[in-house]
Structure 1
Amino acid sequence: SKREASAKSIIELHQQQEKTEKNMQDLKSIIEDNIKNIKNIKDGKQYVEFLENKKKIDSLSSEKSKIKNEIGLQFVKISRPLNKYVYVSALDKPQKKLLAGLIDNPYDVLTETNKNDIAQILESVRKGIESGSVSVKDVSKSISQIDETLPKLDNFIKQIITYDKSKNDIEVKLSNFDDEQLRLEESNLARSQRDKLDAESKIKLLDSEITKTVESIPRHIKSIESILNQISAVQYKIKQS
């Protein structure tokens, strides 16, 4: 009968609800453990040092930008004669590549290894300006700017080497902290919190279904009474237990 089916449904819904509530309690314990583990990691000396070194890396990024801008501003002054020299020079392939680097991004090619070749290229550009093979609007100004650039090469390279060493030293220190465990705990926490929210929603839904099913039982009884009374002269009243 509908009444029995409803009663069976209520029992099944209650069982599902109990199972979900048990699951939610387990999730609460897991979440507490995740939070505790994350706190333990973040309270550790290694993590504190890791954060400090990350700040240092961030501040080094601005230091790199400062050096790069300083170098860029200097080489912009001689970019016109460098570009002209591309078309009149008889450089070999590596030197042509180096010249292209000086034009496009001097920071990346300014190294101790390249220093002599860079100086040689600038000297050749200077001679080209003097001889007229490298055409510029203001000869004396272009020569003056190359003469200004040449003695700065050592300082530029020194700044880059110092920056690279500082960055490498900090990166070594950063590698001392393995953040994989922290990321795993944070990922597990996020997943458990989502699962807990799903469980809470499911419990509310089961509550609603149980209430609807319980409320439907008297309606089923009324419907049966009405049918019986229509087909019989006797007035039936079904007892509810």
Structure 2
Amino acid sequence: MEIRTRTALVTGAAGLIGRGLVTHLLGRGWRVAALDEAPDVDGPGAPAGGDLLRLVADVSDEAAVRRSAREVADWAGRLDLLVNNAGLAGAASGPVEHLSLEDWNRRLAVNLTGPLLMAKHFAPLLREARGAIVNITSTRAHMSEPDCESYAASKGGLTALTHALAISLGPEIRVNAVAPGWITEDDLRGIDHAQHPAGRAGRPEDVAETATWLADAGFVTGQVVIVDGGMTRKMIYAE
């Protein structure tokens, strides 16, 4: 029996979490299509060719997404895992009284419409492989700081889109989400790590390991796995 290497597609591949996802998957023998809005000259993970395909597309542009689907089909002929990671980071947009409609619409276009378009156009490849979709949401879908309305709304919508797609696309395609908390590669103060019940802030590989687990968790669909070191379970009161 022929054993074929599994193929994953990661959007937002040039960002912090995206680079971690691509590197993690390549290291575990996956073929990876790394999609980002701008070409990433130096990486992630390996030079283009062989097990890595670079794609340049704006996930909110349906024509660009459709073109990327054809490229992946020509390159791999299958798709086992789609990770919708692309998103406009930087949660704060300023006071709601000054929030521009342009900012609101752009965040929803990339963070919410983008994953919908990716699911729409890659569903045939995923269905044939009985693959999985993992959406990268955020703990901002469940809790907020001031002035993050457009980001929180986009991630909350993506959480709802996750269970809607799970019902619509199952049983052939499972759809889940990972909601990261504070993920960084920077040096932090001891107090920044210590406030987490897990004893540290998150790293990109924490998200990548969870997404890879969901790719194989055959009885899990429509779920959101929070990866935040326990912060959403921690009661905090001002002293």
Shorter-normalised TM range: under 0.3
Q: Which has a greater percent of helix?
A: 1
| TM-score normalised by length of structure 2 | 0.21
Q: Which has the higher contact order (CA 8 A, sep 6+)?
A: 1
Q: Which has a greater percent of strand?
A: 2
| TM-score normalised by length of structure 1 | 0.21
Larger Rg: 1
